[in-house]
Structure 1
Amino acid sequence: MFNLEWYRIFLQTARYGNLTKAAQALHITQPSVSYAMKQMEEALGIKLFNRLSKGVELTKEGQSLLEYVEQSFTLLDAAEKHVLNLKQLTEGEIRIGSSDSLIKHLLLPQLNAFHKEYPDIRIRLSHGKTPDIAKRLKDGLIDCALIHMPVHDPQLDIHPVAALEDCFVAGSAYADLARRSLTAAELAKLPLLLLSPGSSTRLHIDQWFAAKGLRVTPEIELGSVDLLAEFAGLNYGAAFITRSFVKEALDQGKLIELPLADRLPARSIGFAVVRDRKLSLAAERFTEMLLSRMLS
Structure 2
Amino acid sequence: MFNQYDIEVINIINHMDRYVVFYQTAVTGSFTRAAERLFMTQPSVTYAIKQLEEELQASLFVRKSKGVELTEEGSALLQCVAPAIRLLEEGRRAVAQYGDLERGEIRIGASEAVIKHYLLDAIESFHSAHPNIRFGFRHGRTRDIRQMLLEGGADIGLIHLRQDEDAAQLQIHAEWPVELIFISAPSFLPLSEEPRHPKELLKLPMITLSARSSSRAYAEDLASAYGVKLQSEMEVGSVDLLLELTRMGFGCAIVNRKYAEGGLRTGSLIEIPVGTELPAWRITLVSSSSRALPAAARAFLQLMSA
Q: Give the TM-score category using the shorter length.
A: 0.7 to 0.9
Residue pair 2:25, 2:34 contacting (<8 A) in 1 also: no
1:285 equivalent in structure 2: 299
Give ranges in structure 2 of 5+ residues lacking alignment. Answer: 1-10
**Within 5 A, what are the aligned runs for 1:1-296?**
1=11, 2-11=14-23, 21-23=29-31, 26=34, 39-46=51-58, 59=72, 65-150=77-162, 151-159=165-173, 161-275=175-289, 277-292=291-306
Residue pair 1:194, 1:220 contacting (<8 A) in 2 also: yes
Q: Which deviates the most, 4-13 or 240-249?
A: 4-13
The whole-number CA distance in structure 2 between the counterparts of 1:285 and 1:265 is 33
Residue pair 1:160, 1:268 contacting (<8 A) in 2 also: no
Letter of the aligned partner of 1:92 in structure 2?
G
The 3 A distance-change label for structure 1 pair 168 and 77 is same
Give ranges in structure 1 of 5+ residues lacking alignment. Answer: none
Q: How far 1:206 moved relative to its partner? A: 0.8
Residue pair 2:209, 2:242 contacting (<8 A) in 1 also: yes
The whole-number CA distance in structure 2 between the counterparts of 1:62 and 1:240 is 77
State the SS of the aligned residue for 1:152: coil
Q: How far 1:219 moved relative to its partner? A: 1.1
The 3 A distance-change label for structure 1 pair 45 and 188 is same
Q: Which deviates the most, 95-104 or 208-217?
A: 95-104
Q: How far 1:220 moved relative to its partner? A: 0.8
| TM-score after normalising by structure 2 | 0.78
The whole-number CA distance in structure 1 between the counterparts of 2:208 and 2:119 is 23
Letter of the aligned partner of 1:269 in structure 2?
I
State the SS of the aligned residue for 1:204: helix
State the SS of the aligned residue for 1:190: coil
Letter of the aligned partner of 2:246 in structure 1?
A
Q: How far 1:214 moved relative to its partner? A: 0.5
Deviation digits for residues 35-92 of structure 1 (CA, Å, limit 9, x no counterpart): 765543331235667999xx85664x76664443223112211122123323322233
State the SS of the aligned residue for 1:203: helix
The 3 A distance-change label for structure 1 pair 177 and 26 is same
Q: Percent identity at matched positions?
A: 36
State the SS of the aligned residue for 2:232: coil
Q: Which deviates the most, 115-124 or 24-33?
A: 24-33
The 3 A distance-change label for structure 1 pair 236 and 58 is farther
The 3 A distance-change label for structure 1 pair 131 and 281 is same
The whole-number CA distance in structure 1 between the counterparts of 2:152 and 2:43 is 52
The 3 A distance-change label for structure 1 pair 148 and 30 is closer
| TM-score after normalising by structure 1 | 0.81
The 3 A distance-change label for structure 1 pair 235 and 67 is farther
The whole-number CA distance in structure 2 between the counterparts of 1:204 and 1:158 is 21
The whole-number CA distance in structure 2 between the counterparts of 1:229 and 1:248 is 10
